[in-house]
Structure 1
Amino acid sequence: MRQRDGAGAGLRDDTGSYGAPRRRARRSTVSLLLWGVCLAAAYACGSNLFLAPSRVTSRAASLRGSAVVGNPAVGALSSRGRTRSWDESSVQYLLGAAAVAVTLLSVTLSLSRHKSKRASTEGGGSAVARGSLASWWNSMMFDPNRGDAARHQIGKTAFDALSDSSVRAIHRAQEESINLAFVPLEGLLIGLASERSGGASKLLREAVVQVAELKHLSPLQPADLVSWGAVERVPLDDEVVEVVRNSVDTAEGPITTEALLEGVVARMLARPAFVDKGLKDKLQSVLQRLEEWKNDDTEKMPAGGFVPGTSGGSVLESCGRNLTALAREGKLLKCVGRDAEIGRMVQVLSRMTKNNPVLLGEPGVGKTAVAEGLAQLISNGEVPAHLADVAIWDVSIGSLLAGTKYRGEFEERLKKLVKEATEAHGKIILLIDELHTIVGAGATGDGAIDAANILKPALSRGELRVIGATTQSEYDKYIAKDPALERRFQPVVVPEPTQDQAVEMLMGVAGLYEEHHFVGFTDDAIKACVKLSSRYIPSRRLPDSALDAMDEAAARKRIQQGARPSSRVEVTANDVAQTVAQWTGIPLEELTKDESARLLNMEGRLDARVIGQKRATSAVARAIRRARVGVRGVGNKRPTACFLFCGPTGVGKTELSKALSDEYFGAEGRNMIRLDMSEFMERHSVSKLIGSPPGYVGYDSNSGGVLTDRVRRQPHSLVLIDEVEKAHPDVLNILLQVMDDGRLTDSHGRLADFSNVILVMTSNVGSSIEDLKRHFRPEFINRIDEVIPFASLTEEDIVRVVGLYVSRLQAALREQYNIDLKVTDGLTMALGKEGYSAEFGARHLNRVMQARVEDPIAELVLREKIHRGEEMVADYDGERDMIVFRNGNDDILTEMKCSDQTSAGD
């Protein structure tokens, strides 16, 4: 049975002590055992201490006698014997003295503990009162829970199930009990009340339960103190351990402070001798509130804890982050070059009503950074007096919505958030990034209100100050449609910084990236981040694109240096260029000698592939060199080159475009965008290029046109507009903007940049200006960089084209069947003569090669007259006008007339 010691005392056992008698009995038993060991050691060492000198003296005398006889070896032995005996006696003396001291200390401790127990029993004092020496001895020798006592007693698995707030509450309880024998149940209650980040503290404050009031429950007086030396070594009372373990056993998730509070309060109220009626009523109200939450169908509590915002815990702490506190800790990036925007925001926040600024700007211009810059000024005390002690909380609408499965749950959580902010009397400012998400957030239909309507009253009265951030398009789409909501916010435009401002911003934050990556940035590297990202990544905004270039260039350089670089490596402008080139595919890094030689010799390689068009290959090679070296004028946004290839069919216009793509971009067809204008002959086909307009089928798919989407994904490419004369005039009007400004906007308002595109158009119309004017308007012709006429192929050119066909056929047979095909010069000349056509060009040669060479070889493979690894010779018999195929043994495989497609062989 428990009893009260006095008005201010807590509850105690019948033995007069508060806590666990079993622990005390166990320690007493261990103490007696150790005392006995000490006595035995003292006896053994003490006997050696008093008896050893006589043996040493006797042995030394005998050795001295032997030395007198004249034996030098024995004399030396006696010297060593005296030294060893003296050392052994010294050690025995010290051990004996230590044993006596330990024995006296054990006797003193036992007497002290016996005296304390008798005083507590007879005089009403605490049974755990000990001297500082006794407590130190017990903590070192008799406490089985040295180190982290809570983790040891509760168990690692159960301790890991505790939430962060619960762990901090237990540590606070240990701090309160640092001078006590253990952490009582009341100590844990004090820890829960002191840990203000948990919901238990909020519940106790709402019930007007003060920490000072709880401290009066402690059964230990200031005179009954011990010293544990470390907070983690203070053990928990058995009741506390049982409460924690019961909470863990009945839960499936993290154990919150509310779950611990329920167990503590229930156990305390179960004590029959609890006479403090005022406190008892308060704790009963707390327990009743906990039970209501558990049983309420609209506020279900998950196993082990409560839904954030419905359990009495702070909604701000569970769904937001304190930017002002983060700024004081130096965890926010420095905001540079936004003094005007921050000043305007401070001006709006200083208004009496409608004091809610909304930051409007494109994605990546730094809207959130402006709000963080204000938090940094507040933390540094560089704001007006009425904002000096204000905290800016970044609240996530997604976090507020998370876990709200039942109707009304989100509204309740948001109302608590507004209540917390308004009760701070202007000391809390909410930052809502992506402000447009409050429109419709939490609405489930059937007349349910959304977050915007919940915030409107507090915003209009000036009780709640909110900083919003969104894009201009989202603001017009969602906020501006609701005039009642729009008039409560004051727009603060955040424009994209200039390149000079962006360089200044990157200079301000470069140190953080240098520390993270263990690198150093040169000034040219920082300027390159801004210049290259602005020029070659126009779809993104400064400073976000430049910061990404800086971050990835440093990461790339760090990886190249290995796992553990000995010193900081330097990030140069070329490193940044290589990073941006990796993103876009545009060759921006410095020219190498091999690449320079390849560019200078480009005409020769193009001539070898496109026969008979030296003027065209020379013009194309000049444009490629101009683009790669980068000698275009500053601010020139036009495409790299705009060519119109004119000439009859089959002369190599499309083939030159393919050769140019392969030569410049390095992979066949990888960076070539080909559009056949025979598919764009109708007026409505314009939507294929830029996407369907609003209200038409395909607009809701959020995809643009075949041209704008592909150029956005491949900004460094060759766009081939084949047979442009077949396109509808409206399609040509779209191309006017591309050739003039180097940009095209799709139906969703997204910009496609053509400034790094080579635009090639082919046409079968005549190459004279008069012929072009009959098909194209003057403004279209005037925007073309160069009109390149293609001459008709001669018979000699066709013979060279036959050599190209044969080379490709030989490579295909060697790769697929390992057959070595040889074609004689006589057959090459005969095929060139047969395939020449002044009207159809090289396209007629394609049909001749298929009929005279490809078809017979296919039949020989199928009839198994030629096998893998064999050699085959194709020859021309001029006397008979026959094409003859022989194997390596000169056996005839098949024959056919050069001017007849029927086979002459079996």
Structure 2
Amino acid sequence: MRQRDGAGAGLRDDTGSYGAPRRRARRSTVSLLLWGVCLAAAYACGSNLFLAPSQATSRAASLRGSAVVGNPAVGALSGRGRTRNWDESSVQYLLGAAAVAVTLLSLTLSLSRHKSKRVSTEGGGSAVARGSLASWWNSMMFDPNRGDAARHQIGKTAFDALSDSSVRAIHRAQEESINLASVPLEGLLIGLASERSGGASKLLREAGVQVAELKHLSPLQPADLVSWGAVERVPLDDEVVEVVRKSVDTAEGPITTEALLEGVVARMLARPAFVDKGLKDKLQNILQRLEEWKNDDTEKMPVGGFVPGTSGGSVLESCGRNLTALAREGKLLKCVGRDAEIGRMVQVLSRMTKNNPVLLGEPGVGKTAVAEGLAQLISNGEVPAHLADVAIWDVSIGSLLAGTKYRGEFEERLKRLVKEATDAHGKIILLIDELHTIVGAGATGDGAIDAANILKPALSRGELRVIGATTQSEYDKYIAKDPALERRFQPVVVPEPTQGQAVEMLMGVASLYEEHHFVGFTDDAIEACVKLSSRYIPSRRLPDSALDAMDEAAARKRIQQGARPSSRVEVTANDVAQTVAQWTGIPLEELTKDESARLLNMEGRLDARVIGQKRATSAVARAIRRARVGVRGVGNKRPTACFLFCGPTGVGKTELSKALSDEYFGAEGRNMIRLDMSEFMERHSVSKLIGSPPGYVGYDSNSGGVLTDRVRRQPHSLVLIDEVEKAHPDVLNILLQVMDDGRLTDSHGRLADFSNVILVMTSNVGSSIEDLKRHFRPEFINRIDEVIPFASLTEEDIVRVVGLYVSRLQAALREQYNIHLKVTDGLTMALGKEGYSAEFGARHLNRVMQARVEDPIAELVLREKIHRAEEIVADYDGERDMIVFRNGNDDILTEMKCSDQTSAGD
């Protein structure tokens, strides 16, 4: 009696022995040869027994004759025997026919072993009908160990559809089942768990399924061991074959370990008796995760699963885009103004060898758009006949590299890509954007070749046509260093378009942006996109910067309208200006009445903050008005203003710079770049401004200098060069370029634009031109817009400064402690008199205010003599020359001498 095991994984007889009929089938091909030998022996024996030589024939004839004459009984007996005496030809024919029949029967029943009808079994699986004549005969005559049993059972086509990880998992399963009659489902599950390169192994580990746990299942503990010799000869159970074939039939790509795991788990869970409840729950969890992934609409990549281009399927379709097909569908932006570049590219592609153009240009000039323009011409039939049916495929090196974990996977994928392109016989052209990435791509450093060396042979023979795109700097850095690679490409320079060409380009694609944002662009708006982006975003190139301005201006206008309007809203030049102003911080939008009034009254606000320097504040205000209204000369790239504030210390030079930054830029200190030249007194300190040169520490960090980086990030700012006379002469030479051309290039070749910068330098060397000429070179002084001398402060000016100081102190106490400070006029006059110094200016007043006002208040707060929300009065007692602090009840809190030993030089 045969029955299915409780786990349903194999056949077992009553003794508990697996595959008893299969043990009788362990005959090699020698068995068939032995049958032939036996038949030959039988033929020989038959010939000797029945076919005697001539003597025996004569003797038999005489006996027959004598028997007939002398003894009738014997004659009768001999007559009966004569019917059995066959002739030689009959016996030979009979034995030959038997040998042929046995051979044909063996071959026929051997073939029937593979085509025998599958019948359902009680365990839910399907198996080949056993116990039949075919099974018995195959057990005796057929050798199942010939070659790879798994490949033979599954079928070559289905086996080739398995991924590398799946094949290794099956071989691991055969290893685990080397002493079993066949590989059961549990064995395949162990193989999937043991193959770490597949995603199934990770899923099992995450679900808590251990290999040791699976090995305790009953099918892997046979009662009677068998030996197959070689691992690949272990046959697969019919359930395993069914799982693999079903996975092949339902899958679209290579059969991954996840697909096999899903089939194995589903079949095991379908069994009526599953004794291990814990394992069942884990497998149900795995099956649920696989179903969720399979039903997900978004394209997901299971860990260790199918990677596009690894096996099966088209590498081009999985790692590229057909630009020609996209052009036919109208999904590419129109290419305008690049006829010369496209014509040059067509000319190179028409060559017999080295027909590989490489588009060279700065980022944003439209290199990829030129290739897309060629695809549009092909789709419209506007190219020569030999390019009429060509498809341009945009291939991403990153997609080719994605998912390649083992050595050789990337090379295999790239070779398949090249083969697909070359098999098209010139009908496929590859577009590789960022061409320099092929150098070193896929190389592991241990002798593996990179993508560039894989492509070289096909490129030089003309079998593969490639359009590359990269920047000139990257081309020089990577491609030009390899002469063998460089000579296979023909450069096609893509220059930055002029403003007129850029306007035409934007006109050509404006309809796509209008349709997307449901807006309309005026001609002035499109021109503003080009002009403003070119002027105020010099670090970027046309038409990319102009397209970004147009796109974001439309998005901004669309958001302002809220819900979808009934008609298209119009994007004007002012909308574009507001967008560019958001990017740069430069006020470019139209002047409002409030802003105009603020600019006209700027002198008054600056005078209120900087005491006693009307000439300086007036000169600064005039320069700001010129810059804001935009009356500077066309093409003027110089900074907005270049000032040199000169005069004695403590008269307000630095304070006016701070006041100007706050007044014009509207943010306290955020738009002011301050450089103290006491830090740039050495010759090598020039590198701090523009970055370290090549070969020096700091160059590889890709950061520029403190000046160039700040200005590149904040092109609309005030640069304060404090105490410029202390700078090294080489530092002043750098400033010459800034004041004359409004530009500065850092050590990495990146441009910092100073055309929207207010440059202020302060100096203490003197107030007259003669004094300045003795310290600075004439070319330096000649580039300054205005030298503004600062006058020494008078005693009346110092009294006004005391008022400013007291106002700031009152605000600080009110904000932090809610203490209200009141300073009498008498104390203000006394402090002004005490703090006046013609030599040291307002800085001496700061020391007096700290000693006479701040220190006493700090002690009162610490001694808790002043409480929150309390008012204190600071007064001056002239008779005693004392400063008296009182509370709201007129109680004296503390007092101190006004005229102390503090001198102006302290």
When the two structures are superposed, what TM-score results if normalisation uses the length of structure 1?
0.69
In the superposition, relative to structure 1, how do residues 233 and 341 fare at CA in structure 2: closer, same or farther (>3 Å)?
farther
In the superposition, relative to structure 1, how do residues 758 and 154 fare at CA in structure 2: closer, same or farther (>3 Å)?
farther
Deviations 1:174-203 (A, max 9, x none): 999999999999999999999999999999
2:786 and 2:366 map into 1 onto residues whose CA distance is: 43
1:564 and 1:373 map into 2 onto residues whose CA distance is: 33
Q: CA deviation at 1:592?
A: 0.6
Report the 3-state secondary structure (helix = DSSP H, G, I; strand = E; otherwise coil) of the residue aligned with 2:86: helix
1:803 and 1:68 map into 2 onto residues whose CA distance is: 168
Name the residue aligned to 2:465: 465
1:244 and 1:476 map into 2 onto residues whose CA distance is: 52
In the superposition, relative to structure 1, how do residues 847 and 66 fare at CA in structure 2: closer, same or farther (>3 Å)?
farther
8 Å Cα contact 1:553/1:579 also seen in 2: yes
Deviations 1:535-562 (A, max 9, x none): 0000000000011111111111111111
In the superposition, relative to structure 1, how do residues 357 and 449 fare at CA in structure 2: closer, same or farther (>3 Å)?
same
2:131 and 2:222 map into 1 onto residues whose CA distance is: 12
In the superposition, relative to structure 1, how do residues 593 and 95 fare at CA in structure 2: closer, same or farther (>3 Å)?
farther
In the superposition, relative to structure 1, how do residues 385 and 819 fare at CA in structure 2: closer, same or farther (>3 Å)?
same
1:620 and 1:320 map into 2 onto residues whose CA distance is: 58
In the superposition, relative to structure 1, how do residues 788 and 905 fare at CA in structure 2: closer, same or farther (>3 Å)?
closer
Q: CA deviation at 1:308?
A: 2.2
Report the 3-state secondary structure (helix = DSSP H, G, I; strand = E; otherwise coil) of the residue aligned with 1:673: strand
Greater shift after overlay, 262-271 or 360-369?
262-271
Name the residue aligned to 1:385: 385
In the superposition, relative to structure 1, how do residues 267 and 615 fare at CA in structure 2: closer, same or farther (>3 Å)?
closer
Q: CA deviation at 1:892?
A: 1.2
Q: CA deviation at 1:2?
A: 24
Greater shift after overlay, 823-832 or 165-174?
165-174
8 Å Cα contact 1:52/1:89 also seen in 2: no
Report the 3-state secondary structure (helix = DSSP H, G, I; strand = E; otherwise coil) of the residue aligned with 1:431: strand
Report the 3-state secondary structure (helix = DSSP H, G, I; strand = E; otherwise coil) of the residue aligned with 1:787: strand
Aligned residues: 906
Q: Which has the larger radius of gyration?
A: 2
Greater shift after overlay, 113-122 or 228-237?
228-237
Q: CA deviation at 1:891?
A: 1.3
Deviations 1:583-614 (A, max 9, x none): 11001111110000000000000000000000
In the superposition, relative to structure 1, how do residues 449 and 112 fare at CA in structure 2: closer, same or farther (>3 Å)?
closer
8 Å Cα contact 1:38/1:102 also seen in 2: no
8 Å Cα contact 2:8/2:271 also seen in 1: no
Report the 3-state secondary structure (helix = DSSP H, G, I; strand = E; otherwise coil) of the residue aligned with 2:118: helix
In the superposition, relative to structure 1, how do residues 864 and 422 fare at CA in structure 2: closer, same or farther (>3 Å)?
same
Greater shift after overlay, 286-295 or 471-480?
286-295
Greater shift after overlay, 598-607 or 251-260?
251-260
Greater shift after overlay, 731-740 or 439-448?
439-448
Q: CA deviation at 1:897?
A: 1.1
Q: CA deviation at 1:251?
A: 10
1:886 and 1:64 map into 2 onto residues whose CA distance is: 168
2:517 and 2:313 map into 1 onto residues whose CA distance is: 38
In the superposition, relative to structure 1, how do residues 5 and 368 fare at CA in structure 2: closer, same or farther (>3 Å)?
farther
Q: CA deviation at 1:893?
A: 1.2
1:56 and 1:855 map into 2 onto residues whose CA distance is: 151
Greater shift after overlay, 531-540 or 28-37?
28-37
Greater shift after overlay, 386-395 or 883-892?
883-892
8 Å Cα contact 1:17/1:128 also seen in 2: no
Greater shift after overlay, 748-757 or 300-309?
300-309
1:530 and 1:49 map into 2 onto residues whose CA distance is: 113
2:821 and 2:61 map into 1 onto residues whose CA distance is: 114
In the superposition, relative to structure 1, how do residues 123 and 620 fare at CA in structure 2: closer, same or farther (>3 Å)?
closer
Q: CA deviation at 1:564?
A: 2.8
In the superposition, relative to structure 1, how do residues 807 and 121 fare at CA in structure 2: closer, same or farther (>3 Å)?
closer
Deviations 1:507-540 (A, max 9, x none): 1111111111111111111111111100000000
Greater shift after overlay, 668-677 or 240-249?
240-249
1:125 and 1:612 map into 2 onto residues whose CA distance is: 102
Q: Does residue 445 of structure 2 align to residue 445 of structure 1?
A: yes
8 Å Cα contact 1:129/1:224 also seen in 2: no
Q: CA deviation at 1:41?
A: 83
8 Å Cα contact 1:293/1:311 also seen in 2: no
In the superposition, relative to structure 1, how do residues 150 and 707 fare at CA in structure 2: closer, same or farther (>3 Å)?
farther
2:231 and 2:140 map into 1 onto residues whose CA distance is: 14
8 Å Cα contact 2:199/2:303 also seen in 1: no
8 Å Cα contact 2:26/2:139 also seen in 1: no
In the superposition, relative to structure 1, how do residues 592 and 295 fare at CA in structure 2: closer, same or farther (>3 Å)?
closer
Q: CA deviation at 1:415?
A: 0.8
In the superposition, relative to structure 1, how do residues 766 and 269 fare at CA in structure 2: closer, same or farther (>3 Å)?
closer
1:199 and 1:456 map into 2 onto residues whose CA distance is: 35
8 Å Cα contact 1:581/1:589 also seen in 2: yes
Report the 3-state secondary structure (helix = DSSP H, G, I; strand = E; otherwise coil) of the residue aligned with 2:431: strand
Deviations 1:110-149 (A, max 9, x none): 9999999999999999999999999999999999999999
In the superposition, relative to structure 1, how do residues 186 and 551 fare at CA in structure 2: closer, same or farther (>3 Å)?
farther
8 Å Cα contact 1:648/1:792 also seen in 2: yes
In the superposition, relative to structure 1, how do residues 454 and 155 fare at CA in structure 2: closer, same or farther (>3 Å)?
closer
In the superposition, relative to structure 1, how do residues 840 and 234 fare at CA in structure 2: closer, same or farther (>3 Å)?
same
Q: CA deviation at 1:247?
A: 3.9
In the superposition, relative to structure 1, how do residues 189 and 572 fare at CA in structure 2: closer, same or farther (>3 Å)?
farther
8 Å Cα contact 1:251/1:303 also seen in 2: no
In the superposition, relative to structure 1, how do residues 787 and 496 fare at CA in structure 2: closer, same or farther (>3 Å)?
same
Q: CA deviation at 1:310?
A: 2.6
Q: CA deviation at 1:445?
A: 1.7
Report the 3-state secondary structure (helix = DSSP H, G, I; strand = E; otherwise coil) of the residue aligned with 2:589: coil
In the superposition, relative to structure 1, how do residues 142 and 601 fare at CA in structure 2: closer, same or farther (>3 Å)?
farther
In the superposition, relative to structure 1, how do residues 442 and 91 fare at CA in structure 2: closer, same or farther (>3 Å)?
closer
Deviations 1:766-790 (A, max 9, x none): 1111110111001000000000000
Greater shift after overlay, 178-187 or 264-273?
178-187
Deviations 1:647-681 (A, max 9, x none): 00000000000000000011110100000000000
When the two structures are superposed, what TM-score results if normalisation uses the length of structure 2?
0.69
8 Å Cα contact 1:3/1:273 also seen in 2: no
1:103 and 1:416 map into 2 onto residues whose CA distance is: 47
8 Å Cα contact 1:893/1:905 also seen in 2: no
Could you tell me which runs of 5 or more consecutive residues in structure 2 were left unpaired when the two chains were aligned. Answer: none
1:582 and 1:557 map into 2 onto residues whose CA distance is: 14
Q: CA deviation at 1:404?
A: 1.1
Greater shift after overlay, 143-152 or 187-196?
143-152
8 Å Cα contact 1:743/1:753 also seen in 2: yes
Name the residue aligned to 1:183: 183
8 Å Cα contact 1:639/1:742 also seen in 2: yes
Greater shift after overlay, 597-606 or 163-172?
163-172
1:708 and 1:70 map into 2 onto residues whose CA distance is: 142
1:68 and 1:620 map into 2 onto residues whose CA distance is: 159
8 Å Cα contact 1:254/1:305 also seen in 2: no
In the superposition, relative to structure 1, how do residues 213 and 357 fare at CA in structure 2: closer, same or farther (>3 Å)?
farther
1:510 and 1:175 map into 2 onto residues whose CA distance is: 66
Greater shift after overlay, 316-325 or 261-270?
261-270
1:593 and 1:95 map into 2 onto residues whose CA distance is: 123
Q: CA deviation at 1:229?
A: 57
Deviations 1:691-722 (A, max 9, x none): 11111111111111000000000000000000
2:816 and 2:278 map into 1 onto residues whose CA distance is: 95
Greater shift after overlay, 163-172 or 254-263?
163-172
8 Å Cα contact 1:820/1:871 also seen in 2: yes
Matches within 5 A, 1:538-687: 538-687=538-687
Deviations 1:268-321 (A, max 9, x none): 999999999999999999999999999999999978964322312111111111
Q: CA deviation at 1:430?
A: 0.4
1:214 and 1:221 map into 2 onto residues whose CA distance is: 11
In the superposition, relative to structure 1, how do residues 276 and 813 fare at CA in structure 2: closer, same or farther (>3 Å)?
closer
Greater shift after overlay, 229-238 or 39-48?
39-48
In the superposition, relative to structure 1, how do residues 728 and 14 fare at CA in structure 2: closer, same or farther (>3 Å)?
same
8 Å Cα contact 1:46/1:96 also seen in 2: no
1:10 and 1:578 map into 2 onto residues whose CA distance is: 77
Report the 3-state secondary structure (helix = DSSP H, G, I; strand = E; otherwise coil) of the residue aligned with 1:123: coil
Report the 3-state secondary structure (helix = DSSP H, G, I; strand = E; otherwise coil) of the residue aligned with 2:904: coil
1:601 and 1:140 map into 2 onto residues whose CA distance is: 113
8 Å Cα contact 2:641/2:758 also seen in 1: yes
Q: CA deviation at 1:165?
A: 21
Q: CA deviation at 1:447?
A: 2.1
1:341 and 1:132 map into 2 onto residues whose CA distance is: 77
Greater shift after overlay, 858-867 or 275-284?
275-284
2:554 and 2:48 map into 1 onto residues whose CA distance is: 73
What percentage of aligned pairs have identical amino acids?
Answer: 98
Q: CA deviation at 1:446?
A: 2.5
